[in-house]
A and B are shown apart, each in its own frame.
Chain A
Amino acid sequence: MSSEITEILRTSVMEFVNKNVPSGENGLEKSGITPDLRKKLGEQGFLNLKLPAEAGGTGMDAESYIAVLEEFAKAEPSIAMEMFFLNSVAGRVLSHFEDGIELLKRAGRGEISFMTAIPSEFSRISSHSTETTITSDVPIAAGGSSDFLLMTDQSGRTLLVKDKINVRKIQKPLGFRAITWGGVETKNSQYEDLGKGKLEEIFLKQVNLEITAMALGIAEGAIEKTLEYTKVRKVFNTPLKDFGPVAAAVTNMKGEIDLVKHSLDSERREENSEVLRHASLELALNSARTSVQYHGGYGYFESFGIEKFYRDAMAMKMIFGGLKPRELLYRKIYGSDSGRI
């Protein structure tokens, strides 16, 4: 798809956000992604961007999908994350069988949604299953509503759980507050076996560019606002941008953002995807922290729409950082196992 079309997509994301997503005092984090908003996202074709055509997807190319994720993350990282769970995670594991395709179609229209058990290097899911049912305790899952659950069972199989999903909802999770977070219990729930190790594989290896796009979006959202704020906020009768350390910090961040953006736009992005993943996670956190700092007291309040980037950037690192993905990065650079001691 041409970059012209990508630009049109970016503009349509911005227009959608301005028109449909609440901001300020009663912003999206308060209301959450409501069924109504989910439906609107579906109607506009944002939910099924990367789903296969047979599941109602638009067959969009990677470049455009990534651009949409980035653009949503710039404004509302939670929406990007929900799109990611559906397109990049559910889309990958459910498109191989008929029932799964049906579910994806409905999810793409915003009629149903999934929770996904986030793979953790440390806390194990406890589960006990018969041939058709599963009873389990999942420490942490995230997503839309709990119509369906994607999880890994104790033996490493990825399952789609279809009923009796009980979420212990976290009231105020650290990040991505507009989606649902919680521990999940299933009790004698029906499930579908989707195969071994799929979820972990996806989180570890297959979504580097999507992660980069979301982290980059967070960094851009934070720094663009900071650029604007430091032009207009006067301290000591002087715009903040005129102070050397402020200009240096903000322009350094902006420069790093441009570099990551350039690499993500380049044809060689796949080749560099491990590096991009790690660089962008770091960049998102640094940018968001800088942004809170330069907004002073105002940046500290939810209504200003700045501190959420800091929380979301930290949560991104917690979900997608860690030792295992770093080992993959070292291996990529050294060409063999490294850094394991």
Chain B
Amino acid sequence: MDFKFSEEHEEFRKKVREFGKKEFTKQRIRDSDINEKYPDELRELTYKNGLVSYDDPWKVLISIEELCSIDPGLGISVTIPYFGAEVIMLFGSDHLKEKYLSRINSGKAIMGLAVTEPSGGSDVAGASTRAEKKDGHYVVNGSKMFISNGNLADFFITLVRTSSKEAKRHHGLSVLVVDTNSKGFSANKLTGKLGVRSTTTSEILFENLEVPEENLVGEEGKGFYYIMTFFNISRIFVAAQGIGVAQGAFDRAMDLVKSRGEEYSSREEVQFALAEMATRIKATRLMTYEAASHLFSYEPIPSLTSMAKQYAGETAVFVTEKALEIAGIDGIDSDLERFFRDAKILEIWEGTSEIEKLIIARNMLKGEKP
């Protein structure tokens, strides 16, 4: 058992950190948060500096972790343009890889993943956006809710229902790559989020939108499986977001405690709070890295991945709340209040904490040993 990152990864971590410290300026952070503005120039810069490259998933994880510890909103904003790429990587045809992934990999395009519908995000198999085959096309009708990059993306990995039979709930779903410049596509930006306000979230609508047949990912009827496989990967990166948010909040709380002198830092109540925060962060890290090790060597353990995701979200929320308690009223307009607002999403997106618990228990009941 070796708990150390390679020298290359440690160097990379340093590079990301330096980049984040330099480019995530106070002005940029405030501007994006208050005005809900997507930092596109920062996305380009992150790409140009080679900080998000799918050649090495550990590097993606490290980038997310480090950038989120500097500012969660910007950290997520610059790493989310690739959201859903793994679906094409794993299940897409060469044509789709060539046409879409190459643009993503060269930083020229932004993509997104459209699964959630207004009637519910937890019940993925309940998706009702319809796609009917007609003259070499799928004709798509329906809507998706809370879609990241909704007004920015060039294309979406979209979960659609291609079979009308209710009995085929899970098996009636397929995945299409939908170009956003197609006729019949529209997106309404949803404003006023609690946190991660520099990310763009939208409701997207498909009205008789035509998608060429070759934009079907893999096989018809396997969409549910593809999306679940994707979530088993992406949840590791959400766990990394959680580590980053929690670590960033902890570092700031620690600085505050030290700045208040020994009388304060020697209080047991304060020390216990710090110890509890740090312990949870460490546990999250270990769990996430173990789950990632399995995943990145093609032997994923879904219950372990879900444990990491669920615990990371909970830890981010716990640590940011505790940090604000330590800050007291002086935290009302601080970095920490932003970390607190940014943390909560981690218990909601890509499988709420409740859904993660169901995944953990159900896989273990089937004999999986995390």
A residues engaging B (CB < 8 A)?
A: 25, 118-123, 139-140, 170-175, 181, 233-237, 243, 245-246, 285, 289, 292-293, 296-297, 300-303, 307, 310-311, 314-315, 317-319, 321-323, 326, 339-341
Q: Which residues of A contact B340 (CB under 8 A)?
A: 174, 314
* Chain A proximity of B196: nearest CB distance (Å): 9
A300 near B344 (CB under 8 angstroms)?
yes
Interface SS, A side? mixed
A318 near B332 (CB under 8 angstroms)?
yes
Alpha-carbon gap, A150 to B168, bound state (A): 67
A297 near B324 (CB under 8 angstroms)?
no
A341 near B194 (CB under 8 angstroms)?
no
Q: Which residues of A contact B145 (CB under 8 A)?
A: 297
* Chain B proximity of A180: nearest CB distance (Å): 12
- Nearest to A243 among chain B residues (CB) is B354
Q: Which residues of B contact A297 (CB under 8 A)?
A: 116, 121, 145-146, 348-349
The reply to whether the CB of B367 lies closer than 8 angstroms to some CB of chain A is: no
* Chain B proximity of A218: nearest CB distance (Å): 15
Q: List 23 A-B contacts (CB under 8 A).
A: A120-B329, A122-B260, A122-B330, A139-B330, A140-B333, A171-B34, A173-B332, A173-B333, A174-B341, A233-B120, A235-B120, A245-B354, A285-B321, A293-B352, A297-B145, A300-B193, A300-B344, A302-B192, A311-B341, A322-B325, A323-B270, A340-B267, A341-B267
Q: Which residues of B contact A175 (CB under 8 A)?
A: 332
The reply to whether the CB of B331 lies closer than 8 angstroms to some CB of chain A is: yes
Contact with A310, one of B194, B329, B332, B333 (Cβ below 8 angstroms) = B194
B352 near A318 (CB under 8 angstroms)?
no
A123 near B352 (CB under 8 angstroms)?
no
A120 near B121 (CB under 8 angstroms)?
no
Alpha-carbon gap, A171 to B332, bound state (A): 11
A25 near B192 (CB under 8 angstroms)?
yes
A318 near B331 (CB under 8 angstroms)?
yes
Q: Mark B97-122, 1 if CB is under 8 A from A, else 0.
A: 00000000000000000001001111
Q: Across the A-B interface, give the 4 residue pairs with the lowest CB-CB distance, nearest first.
A: A302-B192, A174-B337, A307-B194, A297-B146
The reply to whether the CB of B353 lies closer than 8 angstroms to some CB of chain A is: yes
- Nearest to A236 among chain B residues (CB) is B123
Alpha-carbon gap, A293 to B310, bound state (A): 13
B331 near A296 (CB under 8 angstroms)?
no
A237 near B327 (CB under 8 angstroms)?
no
Extra pairs beyond A118-B329, A174-B324, A175-B332 (5, CB < 8 Å): A233-B120, A293-B348, A300-B345, A303-B192, A315-B332
Q: Which residues of A contact B349 (CB under 8 A)?
A: 297
Alpha-carbon gap, A140 to B33, bound state (A): 21
Q: Mark B240-261, 1 if CB is under 8 A from A, else 0.
A: 0000000000000000000010
Q: Which residues of A contact B329 (CB under 8 A)?
A: 118-120, 140, 318-319
The reply to whether the CB of B268 lies closer than 8 angstroms to some CB of chain A is: yes
The reply to whether the CB of B126 lies closer than 8 angstroms to some CB of chain A is: yes
Q: Which residues of A contact B325 (CB under 8 A)?
A: 317-318, 321-322
Alpha-carbon gap, A326 to B200, bound state (A): 41
Alpha-carbon gap, A209 to B165, bound state (A): 59
Known: A140-B332, A323-B267. A311 touches B324 (CB 8 A): no
- Nearest to A117 among chain B residues (CB) is B329
Alpha-carbon gap, A319 to B268, bound state (A): 21
Alpha-carbon gap, A119 to B330, bound state (A): 10
* Chain A proximity of B89: nearest CB distance (Å): 27
Alpha-carbon gap, A171 to B116, bound state (A): 32
Alpha-carbon gap, A302 to B341, bound state (A): 12
Q: Which residues of B contact A315 (CB under 8 A)?
A: 332
